[in-house]
Amino acid sequence: MPRVNSLPSVALYIRITDQKGRRHYERVNCRHPQTGGIFCLHYFNPEGKRTWLTVGRDISQALEARFKKESDLRLQQKEGAKPVPPPPQTLEELRDAFLQDRRTTFKKDGSPLDPDTITSYAKVTREFLDIVKRKLPWEITRQNLRDWIAQQRERVSHRTVCNRYVSIVCFLHFCEVDHKKLLPQNERPTPVEETPEAYSQQEMDKFFFHGVRERDALAFELYLKAGPRERELTNLEWSDLNLGLEPVVHFRTKKDFRTKTGKSRVVPLERSLAGKLAEWRLKNPTSRYIFGTNQGVPEGHFLRIAKGIAKRAGMNPQNFWLHKFRDTFATWALRRGVDIRTVQHWMGHESIEMTMKYLAPEQGERAQAQINQAFGRFDTTAESAACQKV
């Protein structure tokens, strides 16, 4: 507590976040001010209550705010007036500050956050505020979070809901709202490690039999035989293919496209598919994208196309999605003898544990065929009869 008769003073601190996400405050040396954090004012109001006030990242504006606040406090002390609290920041203002904070956040290696990550934060927080329809942080309720989660579950997978919830938790933490006090642990979306689903051989036979357009058939065949992610395939250019004696496809980061991990990888092309792509190239000598639209831009409707083919083939469209082709590529490769390290490289996984989840046990007809192959020659009845004859 400050002395009753002392003049009010305001100290300037900087809030710094280290590489592990921990925050600490350092008093600012006005002659040689620190940078790389958020400036805060620390003072005691006329009632003796310790107060912190965030004043942004600009040192000149922070010093000006410190001088003004100190003058206001001294005037209030002189006049005996009650302090006027600053207006609360709205969720919209906090969202702008949060996105700016993300843009100026750096990883351990000194690189900034990926632009796609920033875009995702902007999209998820925008949608969140549009759904909850609240103006101030403390107005957010448990039911608001429940409503947002319910709407997400109607549109995207459980794993995507979990990823988006993490983004919202980061935003709420920035707004000094504790999601744990709003939502019990059993209601928070939690990722569940599930065995990836793969298409069966019979499903793929039906699917490709009912494909109509040559472009679409080639795109889905490359999905199945090379395991790209959706945007990796849609942004694939002819310069990414080598259709020579050892045909390969390069999935790589470019100026206007970035792979999920930011790294490139090379996957060999199955020879019959390479031959079909060579013929397709002769039919499209001037196109940039291998599977682009007639307007020369990446195709963005392959999911709708896949579901349409599945419906024509008499299968349930709900069981068809694009990432399942990638899961099928890894599952079939491992089951058919490709070593796990090679599949890890082809998939672009950073750890072998990510690839191990595709070592799923066989089920249905294939499981029956394998058990028959393993033990069918050992007939206990015949063995017993032979023993009795002896």
- Max Cα separation, the chain? 117
* Residue 156, pLDDT score: 78
pLDDT digits (tens, 9 = 90+) for 306-355: 999 999 999 999 899 999 999 999 999 999 889 999 999 999 998 898 89
C-alpha of 205 from chain center: 32
In our burial notation (b when 16+ CB lie closer than 10 A, e otherwise), range 278-293 reads eebeeeeeebebbbbe
Q: Which of 153-162, 205-214, 233-242 has the lowest mean pLDDT?
A: 153-162
* Interval 134-148 mean pLDDT: 93
Query: Does the pLDDT of residue 179 top 90, yes or no?
Result: yes
Q: What is the CA radius of gyration of the chain?
A: 30
How do the domains of the chain map onto residue ranges?
A: 11-79, 91-187, 201-366
The pTM assigned to this predicted structure is 0.56
pLDDT band at 82 (very low <50, low <70, confident <90, very high): low
**CATH of region 201-366:** 1.10.443.10
* Residue 382, pLDDT score: 52
Q: Which residues pair with 52 in a beta bridge?
A: 42
pLDDT band at 80 (very low <50, low <70, confident <90, very high): low
- Structure tokens belonging to residue 316: 């349930």
Measure the CA dihedral 321/327/328/330, to 10°.
Answer: 160
Compute how many other C-beta atoms are within 10 angstroms of the C-beta atom of residue 109.
6
- Phi/psi class of residue 320: alpha, beta or left (left: φ > 0; alpha: ψ in -120 to 50)? beta
* Residue 3, pLDDT score: 46
- Structure tokens belonging to residue 361: 């046990």
Best CA proximity match to 306, nearest among 358, 230, 238, 201: 230
* Residue 320, pLDDT score: 93
- The three-class DSSP label of residue 195 is coil
Report the residue count for the chain.
Answer: 390
**Which position has the token pair 């015949």?**
382
